[in-house]
């Protein structure tokens, strides 16, 4: 039995494929990562340190799902633009992927 793949779209800037939900930008053709980050300015460390800020502004409910999709997309973007990954970045990413599936609804 074939597993359905989530819908994806190609970014007009980096030409990589991301989940369609990462194209909620002004033009709708540029991915979230190319819209918000510059490979010559942003390091993976600075981007990872701002993940919670992006989650809060996203309106998403599940932190675990958002973090995993964000990290998957970030890895694609970093590989494309040759943004290096340090050992500390790998450790941070592993920690973020283990975030428990609590949501905003937990606090209400």
Q: What is the pLDDT along the chain (108 residues), one digit of tens a residue?
A: 556 567 899 999 999 999 999 998 788 899 999 999 999 999 999 999 999 999 999 989 889 999 999 999 999 999 999 999 999 999 999 999 998 765 555 444
Query: pTM for the whole thing?
Result: 0.85
In whole angstroms, what is the distance from residue 39 CA to residue 28 CA?
A: 20
For residue 108, what pLDDT is reported?
A: 46
- For 31, list phi and psi in degrees, rounded to 5: -70, 160
Distances (CA, A) of 13 to 5, 33, 61, 64, 100: 23, 10, 28, 28, 33
Domain ranges of the chain: 11-100
Nearby residues of 99 by Cβ (< 8 Å), 6 or more positions away: 63, 64, 67
For residue 51, what pLDDT is reported?
A: 95
For residue 18, what pLDDT is reported?
A: 95
């Amino acid at each position: 039995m074939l597993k359905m793949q989530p819908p994806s779209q190609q970014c007009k800037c980096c030409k990589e494929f991301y989940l369609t939900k990462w194209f909620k930008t002004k033009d709708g053709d540029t991915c979230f990562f190319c819209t918000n980050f510059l490979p010559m300015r942003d390091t993976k460390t600075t981007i990872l340190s701002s993940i919670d800020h992006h989650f809060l502004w996203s309106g998403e409910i599940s932190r675990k799902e958002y973090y995993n999709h964000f990290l998957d997309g970030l890895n694609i973007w970093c590989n494309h633009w040759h943004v290096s990954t340090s050992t500390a970045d790998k450790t941070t990413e592993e920690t973020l992927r283990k975030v428990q599936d609590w949501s905003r609804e937990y606090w209400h």
